[in-house]
Structure 1
Amino acid sequence: MTKLSVNINKIATLRNARGANNPNVVQVALDAERFGAQGITVHPRPDERHIRYQDVLDLSKVVTTEFNIEGYPDRRFMDLIKLVKPAQATLVPDPPEAITSNSGWDTIKHLDYLKDIVAELHSYGTRVSIFINPETKYFEPAKETGTDRVELYTEPYAVNFPKDKQAAIKPYVEVSELARQLGLGLNAGHDLDLHNLKFLKEQIPYLDEVSIGHALVCDALYYGLENTIQMYRRQLEV
């Protein structure tokens, strides 16, 4: 079974636009779980432009599914993981000014650095996933870091899906098979939606988890949050 983790960053963006507490990020997370989300994902950034560090602390007290915290592993992020001890920490190589994640780790160049980060996170009892591009050269070094999982960066797949879905999925199937051979768990995320998610799942049936935020929240404007989460869940039940 592939789990659906709902990224609630966009809920926090909407809240922050007015400076009060509507929508309530914690309540939305609880409702998302009640509606069928099997995990909650957040990505706190240094400028707190959407999820705030206090949000992470508040959510850690109430999330009962898998809590996944994404981010660049600077000292503040690492201290947050140490304090919260989420089910999973997903490492992304974003600089602070990035609008959103736009590439995976160069696990060759950053191998020693990632080894140290993964070891520290494991010492806190947290599972580790590394955000990674669908290029085979990065997977054996990823294994060397000691990470439990890799998260496939799926924006290229999403962009190319409408043009040629077979060509779009091909590199992902190849690296997914390699990940399995190496004993790495497999997550996926970025620009997945109701149009491309089912095909991804059909071609890579052993995905452990997908994390989806922007598209899911946009769809919820039309379909409602409960219905939307169920729609995404059905895309994964193939």
Structure 2
Amino acid sequence: MSDELDLNGEATEVTDREARSPGVVRCEVCKTQAFKYKCPGCQLRSCSLACSKEHKTSTGCSGKRQRTSFVPLSEFGEGHLISDYNLLEEAAQLAESAQRTRQRTSNAQSAQIAKVRHMQHQARLRNMEWRAAPPGSEARQLNSSCFDAHKRRLMWRVTWRFEGSGYCVTDEKLDEQTKLGDALAAHLKLQPGQAQRHALLKEYLEAGPEHLTLLLKQETRSDLGPSYYRLMPNHTLRLALAQKTITEFPTILVVLPRLL
């Protein structure tokens, strides 16, 4: 008996009669030795593991039977039956996995839609317009703004950009009743272990929150030049955002007097 690769690419036996058949005695790779293996993928005959590997490398053959290819009934055996059964099992598992994935995706999308609608509703109650960025965008993923049902307040993600310094800092959830001046002063407060930050904000610290200008870019202008709202430090965040359009979360520019 000689060997043959089985349905999974493993060695199985080939009959001596087949090995001695005219025209197929020798290995089709080295062409010197009698063949011992037959590739289930392309039926090429080889004499050793080395020749089998060389065949796969040179031809790109996977060495596995095409599980969906036609097999004559006269050649259909137990190995084919097991292979077909496994194929059906794998197909059923893939279908079930796809169904679960679709369900999870649908649930996540429903939750996102509900959150967007709720934010828009709460914004309208505050005389402002809130817009959601496209799904998957950086702003959509970063935004941590939400409605606190217990406090009945919006908690905003607010980015503070200190113009001319290259420094930005973010409040992940800033209470809408917080005064802008108080929130800014918290970021300018000296803290140990932050020498680099203090160096970047030195001019802002010396000027003091009351002498800094707070700007919010207008999102509804149609001309080419940017325009900004000037925000009052003594206003709460809720009052500062009233009658304005915000996409996801506000970015407030902090500007030194000399830069105006």
More strand by share: 2
> Do they superpose with TM above 0.5?
no
Instruction: Calculate the TM-score normalised by the size of structure 2.
Output: 0.19
More helix by share: 1
